[in-house]
Amino acid sequence: MNKFHGTGVAMVTPFQADGQVDYDALKKLIDHLIDGGINYLVSLGTTGESATLSKEEKKQVFAFTAKAVNKRVLLVAGIAGNNTLETVAEIKAFDTTGYDAILSASPHYNKPTQEGIYQHYKAIAEATPLPIILYNVPSRTGTSVAAETTVRLANDFKNIIGIKEASGSFDLLNQLMRDKPENFLVISGDDPISLPMIAMGAVGVISVVGNALPRQFSDMIKKCLSGDYKGAQPAHYSMIEFTRLMFAEGSPAGVKSALKHLGVCGDTLRLPLVPVSESAAEDIKVQIGLVG
């Protein structure tokens, strides 16, 4: 399963000044990322502000993105929720044309037990023939998917092929890498620690930073995957401050500010998210010049 090795990008959803989806900018972003050497794209993950898009908007964005990508790279759909029945219904109704997998974060807010998380993903796995990438991001969901739960799901369902791991816990990662099935993919969900995670066996990253710096970030990941960690270190260190700024005042506000400076799309977000402060935007602009 080499499909989802390398650099994936969780794309932002560009908005016009009035808050409507900016499809021209979305096409520009997709081309920017593919031209930058990205291996695959994720549509409507957390970075895509999926929480504030209507069902009809999601349907339109998914369809537009598949058409714009036109099979040039692999494409993943972000479909998640904390109402299992509703999430399953959304997945069953999803038009899979042009999509290669589903990325689904564990349920937020409800704080389910590990058995509840297992049963949630079991229902999802049984609802679609598409490969499923789990997503563990406890900073957003309030509950971490334990390594034991991930390994159990990996062993029980053939279409659960990997996990985007963003817990930041190397204790969890140690256990997961030791116990997982050989072909189960562990993908970094933390841009700042992608290098050490790949050193431990992760197969790549689903990145936020890659929206703005696709070439620099994907080149670094390629070196990591080839075992050239010394060669990857200069790029890794050069992007530390830029990466910090991407999350300092919330994501995707930081990366949308960077994309505005790069002329790819505007920095409009939907409430409750707001653009970064003027001082942060200026700092981001400076860092783009240093890293670029």
CB 273 within 8 A of CB 253: yes
Q: Give dist(CA 153, CA 122) in Å, integer.
A: 8
CB 211 within 8 A of CB 25: no
Catalytic residues: 135, 164
Token pair for 246 = 């991407």
Phi (first) and psi of residue 132, to 5 degrees: -120, 130
Phi (first) and psi of residue 162, to 5 degrees: -175, 180
Task: Return the percent helix, strand and coil in the chain, to nearest 5.
Answer: 50, 15, 35
Q: Reduce the DSSP state of residue 182 to 3 states and report it.
A: coil
Q: Which of 127, 125, 145 is nearest to 135 (CA)?
A: 145
Q: Give dist(CA 128, CA 159) in Å, integer.
A: 9
Phi (first) and psi of residue 193, to 5 degrees: -115, 25
